[in-house]
Amino acid sequence: MPCRRSEPGSRASCTIWWPTAWGVIVIQAQGAQRAIDTTPEQARAALRSIESTGRTGLEEMRRLLGLLAEDPGQEAVTTTRSQPTLAEVPDLVSRVRDAGLPVDLRVEGDVRRLAPGLELTGFRVVQEAVTNAFKHAGAVPVAVCLRYGATALDIDVTDVGGAADQQATSGGQGLIGMRERVRLYGGTLDAGPCPGGGFAVHARLPTEVEPL
């Protein structure tokens, strides 16, 4: 949803897009579709979660649309605060689990707040990788690991199936977008099939660099 300010001296343009809410809704809808015939109660729970996520997304959209009319000098600070961070990964995982999809989260190392751009990039990598796993592999176990090192954050998202499908689309927009985000912060992203089956995404983000 592109938008443009008209006030002199303001930023030329901005883009409002909602991968967080809509990405989770897609996962939840997939879970409901798989469960509707065999476990109706689980499907109903997933649909309730979809409703809740949708309402939250609409509220956030209204709030941020309101920001467009505020003083441009306040925009940078407020918009940064509205972006998801790595602290919200557990909530993302919880919502995916509520949809009946098995995800395990492990966090290691010296957990600390990173630069806002790194926080957002890390969150998006997890979100996109988890979404891709369930899109291509179905309701298979997925493991997410955030590893905080002295100079870098390592992110691993691994599933136990679907390698062939994901490998066939490894050049898709999702992976391209993830690589571009990571590259902006001097990081790397590798994705491919695991030797014993499944598919893995690994990203490394240096934590002490400026974006390119």
**CA proximity to 149, closest of 204, 94, 186, 67:** 204
Is the pLDDT score of 71 beyond 50?
A: no
Of 45 and 79, more confident: 45
Confidence of residue 103 (pLDDT cuts 50, 70, 90): very high
Is the pLDDT score of 101 beyond 70?
A: yes
pLDDT tens column, 119-157: 999 999 999 999 888 887 777 899 999 999 999 999 999
Domain ranges of the chain: 2-206
Average pLDDT over residues 75-82: 48
pLDDT tens column, 13-45: 333 344 555 555 656 666 666 667 677 777 677
Q: Note whether 203 and 125 are within 8 A (CB).
A: yes
Average pLDDT over residues 191-198: 89
- The dihedral built from the CA positions of residue 58, 64, 69 and 70, taken in this order, carries a sign that is positive
pLDDT tens column, 1-12: 434 333 333 333
Give the pTM.
Answer: 0.63
2-206 belongs to CATH 3.30.565.10: yes
CA 6 to chain centre: 31
In Å, what is the CA distance from 170 to each residue of 32, 132, 197, 200? 26, 10, 16, 11
Q: Report the share of the chain in percent with pLDDT over 90.
A: 36
Backbone angles phi, psi at 60, to 5 degrees: -65, -40
